[in-house]
């Protein structure tokens, strides 16, 4: 990519926007709040699960569950054409604050945490961290939720010096309880955490009844490499797919199919929650759409039979130092375009039919496509596509963008791939199968 060309400026500005969106979204709650803001700005109407739905007004709608999962949809002109569903996840691996987190040790004040999801421990050390999430408050009349982001360098998890463990570079088994508790201050700061949180939330400390707060890495996203062709940021898995899916939805043209963006929480812990892909959120929303539109149970089944889902979650790029971990042939590279994932045991949902749909979109729209297979001797990961399929069964393909250092608090991907995914999502919403 030649620098300074119109195309390179477009690619750079799409990637820059992604990095800004991720920086503003340290937790799944912030992801949903920021998507909500963009949807409202684009004329989408907010629905609540606890209220009746009226879908007469033209345009798009959205609904949230638990403030951490969100489904947006734009009804199509021909209901029997079905749904085009782009599904991704709002959460990323992190360390979550336990109850009564302040822990005094040797004159230091540390915070008691436990792990959320399959995080890589080592990169959480020796970098500025902070806290974000939500608090639930009681103002005397009702409970309400407030987002919190302590927007400054607040915490650190210091490494043990090599002088005390000469074998540190030969591998180390981390104890979350012993090694991963961040330093918050000294003994004199005891009691400060709750006042810092309540001040940030704009409420009195005694109003806060409970909280869901997570550590997050403070590093900002950056471009790097000889041609600045790579980018790094916290939470690329899976916010890269989230924000590209949203951009695709907002720039696609209304068509016959109902376009749906599903952003599920809790993929990193198996999806088995009320708001996760294994819960009933998506099935419930489809039922509400069909019911509010006055369609019969049979018409609903016809719509679902004609539907296609894309399960979009980032994929592993081949690591230059560990090519032995990759399939000998089907090994994606950063900036190589959309990654179509296959797994014979159906951890990835892609099959011949759904692969053909993805290939056709990429061929018709000149979007580069590459393939991921696990090395045949490795189990590999899984994602939300096959889990969602147990609740609502549609033709589904698993895709993603190639990245390195998955589940590190600072991951790397290809800057050009952002544009590829936005273009793919846009084209997918219009596809007729």
- Give the count of residues interacting with Co ion (CB under 5 A): 3
To the nearest whole angstrom, how small is the minimum distance from the Cβ of residue 153 to Co ion?
27
Query: What tokens does 146 get?
Result: 């407030």
Query: What tokens does 190 get?
Result: 């005891």
Stretch that binds Co ion, among 94-102, 134-142, 230-238, 292-300 (CB under 5 A): 230-238
Looking at residues 277 to 336 of the shown chain, list those that interact with Co ion (rule: CB under 5 A).
313
Give 397-409 as a DSSP string. Answer: EEEEEEEESTTSS
Q: Are 307 and 86 in contact (CB under 8 A)?
A: no
To the nearest whole angstrom, how small is the minimum distance from the Cβ of residue 405 to Co ion?
13
Residue with tokens 């149970």: 297
To the nearest whole angstrom, how small is the minimum distance from the Cβ of residue 277 to Co ion?
11
To the nearest whole angstrom, how small is the minimum distance from the Cβ of residue 238 to Co ion?
4
User: Which one of residues 238, 240, 398, 416 is an interface residue with Co ion (CB under 5 A)?
Assistant: 238
> Within 10 A of 191 (CB to CB), how many other CB atoms are there?
11
Looking at residues 103 to 142 of the shown chain, list those that interact with Co ion (rule: CB under 5 A).
none
- SS3 category, 68: coil
Our CB check for Co ion shows the closer of 44 and 281 to be 281
Our CB check for Co ion shows the closer of 181 and 262 to be 262
Stretch that binds Co ion, among 235-243, 270-278, 288-296, 423-431 (CB under 5 A): 235-243
CA of 309: how far to CAs of 382, 418, 425, in Å? 16, 20, 11
Determine if 237 is a binding residue for Co ion (CB under 5 A): yes
Residue 51, CB half-sphere, CA atoms under 13 Å: how many?
8
Our CB check for Co ion shows the closer of 290 and 313 to be 313
To the nearest whole angstrom, how small is the minimum distance from the Cβ of residue 343 to Co ion?
15
To the nearest whole angstrom, how small is the minimum distance from the Cβ of residue 237 to Co ion?
4
To the nearest whole angstrom, how small is the minimum distance from the Cβ of residue 383 to Co ion?
6
Shortest CA distance to 313 belongs to which of 117, 166, 147, 76?
117
Give the angle subtended at the CA of 394 by the CAs of 391 and 400, to the nearest 5°: 95
- DSSP conformational letter for 160: P
Our CB check for Co ion shows the closer of 238 and 417 to be 238
Q: How distant is the alpha carbon of residue 197 from its chain centre?
A: 25
State the Cα torsion 319-420-70-433 to the nearest 10°: -110
Looking at residues 244 to 283 of the shown chain, list those that interact with Co ion (rule: CB under 5 A).
none
Give 155-201 as a DSSP string. Answer: BB-PPPPGGG-TTGGG-----HHHH-PPEEEEGGGTTHHHHHHHHHH
Shortest CA distance to 245 belongs to which of 396, 390, 89, 389?
89
Distance between CA 236 and CA 231 in Å, rounded? 10
Our CB check for Co ion shows the closer of 88 and 113 to be 88
Our CB check for Co ion shows the closer of 43 and 118 to be 118
> Within 10 A of 301 (CB to CB), how many other CB atoms are there?
11
The beta-strand segments (E) located in 39-128 are: 45-47, 61-65, 69-74, 83-89, 94-105, 108-116
Determine if 240 is a binding residue for Co ion (CB under 5 A): no
To the nearest whole angstrom, how small is the minimum distance from the Cβ of residue 95 to Co ion?
17
Distance between CA 216 and CA 210 in Å, rounded? 19
Our CB check for Co ion shows the closer of 238 and 411 to be 238
Our CB check for Co ion shows the closer of 212 and 237 to be 237
Q: Are 255 and 78 in contact (CB under 8 A)?
A: no
Determine if 91 is a binding residue for Co ion (CB under 5 A): no
To the nearest whole angstrom, how small is the minimum distance from the Cβ of residue 89 to Co ion?
6
To the nearest whole angstrom, how small is the minimum distance from the Cβ of residue 334 to Co ion?
16
Site string for Co ion, 163-202 (x = CB under 5 A): ----------------------------------------
Q: Are 101 and 282 in contact (CB under 8 A)?
A: no
Our CB check for Co ion shows the closer of 238 and 398 to be 238
Distance between CA 211 and CA 181 in Å, rounded? 18
Stretch that binds Co ion, among 5-13, 238-246, 251-259, 344-352 (CB under 5 A): 238-246
To the nearest whole angstrom, how small is the minimum distance from the Cβ of residue 8 to Co ion?
28
Our CB check for Co ion shows the closer of 39 and 277 to be 277
Stretch that binds Co ion, among 186-194, 229-237, 322-330, 368-376 (CB under 5 A): 229-237
Residues that bind Co ion (CB under 5 A): 237-238, 313
């Amino acid at each position: 990519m030649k620098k300074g060309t119109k195309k390179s400026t477009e690619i750079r500005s799409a990637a820059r926007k992604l990095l800004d969106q991720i920086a503003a979204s340290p937790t799944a709650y912030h992801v949903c709040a920021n998507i909500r803001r963009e949807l409202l700005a684009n004329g989408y109407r907010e629905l609540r699960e606890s209220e009746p739905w009226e879908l007469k007004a033209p345009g798009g709608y959205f609904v949230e569950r638990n403030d951490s999962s969100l489904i947006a949809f734009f009804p199509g002109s021909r209901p029997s054409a079905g749904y085009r569903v782009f599904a991704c996840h709002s959460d990323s691996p992190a360390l979550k604050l336990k109850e009564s987190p302040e822990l005094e040790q040797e004159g230091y004040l540390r915070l008691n945490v436990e792990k959320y999801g399959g995080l890589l421990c080592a990169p959480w050390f020796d970098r500025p961290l902070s806290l974000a999430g939500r608090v639930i408050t009681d103002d005397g009349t009702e409970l309400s939720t407030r987002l919190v982001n302590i927007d400054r360098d607040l915490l650190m998890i210091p490494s043990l010096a090599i002088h005390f463990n000469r074998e540190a570079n030969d591998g180390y088994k981390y104890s979350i309880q012993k090694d991963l508790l961040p330093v918050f201050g000294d003994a004199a700061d005891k009691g400060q955490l709750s006042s810092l949180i309540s001040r940030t939330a704009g409420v009195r400390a005694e109003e806060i009844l409970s909280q869901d707060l997570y550590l997050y890495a403070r590093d900002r996203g950056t471009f790097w490499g000889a041609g600045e062709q790579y980018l790094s940021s916290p939470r690329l898995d899976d916010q890269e797919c989230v924000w590209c899916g949203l951009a695709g939805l907002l720039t696609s043209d209304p068509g016959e199919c109902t376009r749906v963006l599903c952003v599920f929480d809790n993929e990193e812990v198996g999806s088995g929650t009320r708001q996760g892909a294994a819960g009933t959120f998506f099935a419930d929303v489809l039922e509400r759409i069909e019911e509010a539109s006055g369609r019969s149970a049979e018409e609903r089944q016809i719509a679902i039979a004609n539907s296609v889902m894309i399960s979009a979650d980032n994929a592993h790029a081949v690591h230059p130092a560990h090519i032995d971990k990759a399939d000998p042939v089907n090994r994606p590279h950063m900036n190589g375009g959309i990654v179509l994932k296959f797994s014979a045991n159906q951890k990835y949902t892609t099959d011949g039919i759904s692969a053909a749909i993805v290939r056709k979109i990429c061929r018709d729209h000149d979007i580069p496509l590459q393939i991921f297979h696990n090395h045949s001797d490795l189990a590999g990961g899984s994602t939300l596509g096959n889990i969602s399929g147990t609740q609502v069964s549609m033709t589904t393909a698993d895709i993603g963008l190639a990245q390195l250092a998955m589940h590190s608090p600072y991951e790397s991907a290809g800057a050009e791939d952002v544009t590829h995914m936005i273009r793919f999502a846009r084209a997918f919403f219009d596809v007729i199968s």
